[in-house]
Amino acid sequence: MSASKSWTAKFILIGLIFLLTLLVVGCVPQPKEAREPTPVTQVPVTTQIPRTLAVSGEGRAIATSDVATVNIGVELRDKTAEKAMNRNSEIMQKVIQAIREMGIPEEDITTVGVNLHPHYNYPQEGAPEIVGYYVSNQVIVTVRETQKVSDLIAKAAKAGATSIYGVQFDVSPGNKAKMEALNDAYTNAKTKAEALAAAMGVRLKEVYSARESGVAAPIPGAYSGYHFVGAGGDGEIIPPPVAGQNIEIRAAVEITYMIE
């Protein structure tokens, strides 16, 4: 019994010593660095907006057309839709074959319309009646050798084409006149910038930014369409006179200069 009390007294004593130790540690003053956060030095950030001068420029150049498009069609009428479609397809195949024989690649021949609709007769009395069917088929041919346009029209008509809806001349994307127009536009913009800088009493430095606003060729007037009634057959068709055109290319740029 006395031994049990002795062990109990020892455990109580150990517990008291542990509590006293915790109290002593808690009362010890902590270093200032541990109690207060280290202040962060704020470095002010300033954004300086560059001084700039923005101008626009326009340029022009004359280009000789080096590509043409021709809209060629076959139009006919027959008593039934089947006969009309079959005849039209047969003739159009001959027209396309004649075009290919001129060295025009298949990718430059594009179908743009195939139409079939009934043809009505309207009597003075009674309901309208279908007396036939009208079929049209049109392709656009891109001609990259413009001197072939005249022969193309004649050979297409010879093969059975019944209509030419127009000849449109243009310049190819890589035409050097477009670069000339851009150079002219840049020169125009730089001249404006120099004049403005002199008037403002500042000096031009390097180009800050440059942007092409666009390069465009005004759509030239197309030749009027030809209509061949009953084309094809054994007769000769004289190639119509077709000449290329000079086209004005226009370019625009926007240039921003640094100034001081």
pLDDT in tens, 176-213: 888 899 999 999 999 999 999 999 999 999 999 999 98
Q: What is the per-residue pLDDT for 37?
A: 60
Q: Quick: pLDDT tens for 94-110.
A: 999 999 999 999 999 99
Model pLDDT, residue 61: 92
pLDDT at 171: 86
- Residue 172 pLDDT: 84
Q: What is the pLDDT at residue 94?
A: 97
User: What's the CA gap between 153 and 57, in Å, rounded?
Assistant: 41
Class for the domain spanning 67-170: alpha beta
pLDDT, position 64? 86
pLDDT beneath 70: ranges in the chain: 1-47, 217-235
Residue ranges in 29-127 assigned as alpha helix (H): 32-35, 81-100
- The pLDDT, as a whole number, for residue 6 is 61
pLDDT at 50: 85
pLDDT score for 13: 63
Tally the C-alpha atoms within 13 A of residue 158's C-alpha that lie toward its C-beta: 16
| Range list for CATH 3.30.110.170 in the chain | 49-65+173-221+244-260
Instruction: State the CATH class of domain 49-65+173-221+244-260.
Output: alpha beta
- What's the pLDDT at 131? 92
Where in the chain are all domains bearing CATH 3.30.70.2970?
Answer: 67-170
